[in-house]
Amino acid sequence: MDYGNGLVKSLSTLGEYDIPISEIPMSSSSFVPNTHVKTVQFSPTYGNTSAGELSIHEASSSSCFLTTAISQLQIWNVEQPSLPLMRNNPSELPLTTASWSPTHPHSLIACGGEDKAINIIDIRVPPSTSEEQQQSVWRTENAHDRSIRDVQFNPFIPYWLASAGI
């Protein structure tokens, strides 16, 4: 890529972040889920520090991104593409969106999907099951009449959310 100032930059792949289909829960028979990633978002403070062997909430501020596929939210470390650092299944139905909090990037993630609920997940909360699933610290049922397509934290006012449905 030439930016017009004589500097040429190239793009490269850092890694492939893949979860085998056998590891993704398929819990509902009322729909045929696809395994396409619906959301991908870097942590708001991506790149500020070295990740190394940090805990999940420390690493999330430096080299992590989140994805949603089927009913699962995953947090990945860019430097370790073999397995996600965290997996969470806030619903049995597919997730369609997730978003880091810009004012609490070390801990809070909002997500929503086909179940019409909005969940706030705090990655500092210890796992609640043997599958290392984090608990939702806040959940609202039926936030919309239909599926939730997007949810975003307000970048200026902590704890304010906006959501969009179809």
In a domain, 106, yes or no: yes
d(CA 1, CA 147): 39
Provide the CATH number for the domain around residue 45: 2.130.10.10
Instruction: With beta carbons less than 8 A apart as the criterion, state whether 100 and 109 touch.
Output: yes
CB 147 within 8 A of CB 164: no
pLDDT at 79: 84
For residue 60, being part of any structural domain is answered with yes
Q: Which ranges in 3-161 belong to alpha helices (H)? A: 56-59
Residue 144 within a domain: yes
Residue 21 domain-assigned (yes or no): no
* Structure confidence at residue 46 (pLDDT): 64
Range of the domain at 136: 32-165
Whether 103 is covered by a domain: the verdict is yes
What's the pLDDT score for residue 154? 93
Dihedral sign computed on CA atoms, order 103, 109, 113, 117: negative
Are β-strands 161-165 and 148-153 bridged in parallel, bridged antiparallel, or unpaired? antiparallel
pLDDT in tens, the chain (166 residues): 555 666 656 666 666 766 665 555 555 555 555 678 888 888 887 665 544 444 555 554 568 899 998 888 998 888 888 888 888 888 888 999 999 999 887 789 999 999 999 999 988 887 666 554 557 888 899 999 999 999 999 999 988 999 998 8
Q: DSSP letter at 129?
A: S
- pTM for the model stands at 0.73
Q: Which residues does 69 contact at the CB level (< 8 Å), separation at least 6? A: 19, 24, 35, 36, 37, 38, 95
Q: Write the burial class of residue 121 (CB in 10 Å: 0-12 exposed, 13-18 middle, 19+ buried).
A: buried
- Count of the separate structural domains present in the chain: 1
Is 128 in contact with 114 (CB distance < 8 Å)? no
**What pLDDT was estimated at residue 51?**
42
18: Cα separation from own chain's centroid: 14
User: 98 in a domain, yes or no?
Assistant: yes
Contacts of 113 (CB under 8 A, 6+ apart): 38, 68, 71, 91, 93, 94, 95, 96, 97, 147, 148
| Structure confidence by residue, pLDDT tens digits, 89-118 | 888 889 999 999 998 877 899 999 999 999
